[in-house]
Structure 1
Amino acid sequence: MQNLSLHGGAQDRLRSPIPPNLPAYFMASLYHHPMSSLDQYPGASSASPAQDPMDRALLASRNHREAEKRRRERIKSHLDRLRTVLACDPKIDKASLLAKAVERVRDLKQLTATIPKNHNFPSEHDEIVVLPSISDSSTSSSVPTIFEASVCCDDRADLLPELIETLRGLRMRTLRAEIATLGGRVRSVLLVARERGVDEDRDEDEMPVGNGELLRDALRALVDRQMAATSDRPKRRRMVDMSLA
């Protein structure tokens, strides 16, 4: 009978009112009821674990650790890439690496400051310019003997050989040549000089070589031949508007 009374007392304690403010998941594990049926117990909270202040704090702490880990991995990746670009020792410390990077950026800024804007870069339009060179110090005649010629057009394999043949046909020799290519376009900047005796057999009214007109016309014909040859191609890299100077 005593055992029965003890058993009955335990049952009475289980049937007693539930203490307030007990966690919902604790009540669910104790009575084996689903979360949706906890509203029958007075004082039991129906909030989810994520809404509990302690659970929210734990979740925020875990998110912070993961974000910090990703940030450190991203910084490490950037530093490794910087070591590769600067060709530094893989074991170099972070402070020395950043100092080398700053020094390299300063050197590049000084280098780019000495480069003129759009220097020798090809443009989208065909262009031919022939001017007397300012380096021509000849005072024996009013006719210049040195010219600066700039030709900008589409790049092709036979452009340079044809340009050389054009200058040879005019009996002009090349003193300096600068060639730049970009995106299927090419710009050739030439410093050329006419050979001696080219204009000796010409009258004063026939001075196209000395004035640069013949050179300009020959270069224009070279570009025109190129345009005629490339117009038959099924595909072109870009459309070019002719604006010959």
Structure 2
Amino acid sequence: MRPDLELHHYMAGQAEIDGGHYGFNFPARSEFPAIQSYCSDSSLDASRIPETAEARAIAALRNHKHAEKRRRERINYHLDRLRALLPCNPKTNKATLLAKVVQRVRELKQQASQVTELEYLPSETDDFAAHANHAASDDGKLKLKASLCCDDRADLFSDLIDALNSLQLKVVRAEMSTLGGRIRNVLILSGETDQCQGHECAAFLHNALKNIIERSKASERAKRRRRLDPINIS
């Protein structure tokens, strides 16, 4: 028991015994405001604990609602942007809008693949290129990429093989396409690094492809000249 309560009980007991002798009655416990205030404060502290936990729960719920509101606003903003990009009604629902987005992405992927395929189709103009891959290969050999587009002729491949053999290059992969008497060759080549450096070998290959193009042009001019020459009839 606390000392103040023990003192109170003792004095109250003495008042009941000797009250008549001293001429007064000792006040009851409820008449001590300090003790009553102390007891009431203890009960108030216990009652404040659930109120604080409830306030925290309400604050957390309020923050969650604000976060959800901001998230919905961001989603609606991006959905509105998609509606503006796609040919659809501004009030199109989310499911229909997402279906249109998926369809459009598939169309774009198909168009991109078609563009990639067009790079390997022969064009109407002659062109050639040679590039060295400066990244180190697994086998330590030199890697080059060459492309050649010109008129198709019977001795084109023999000229190309002779040019590669003169540079001691081997074909790793070859892609060829023809269209309307034109041909495009895309070659992945490999060579020994002790023969020449990457940029030097690419320069030699570039000159070799240029000679093949010039030979093709000369052959085409000769064919046209033969077609235009008058036929001598004796």
- Please indicate the TM-score interval, normalised by the length of the shorter structure: 0.3 to 0.5
Larger radius of gyration: 2
Higher helix share: 2
TM-score (norm 2): 0.44
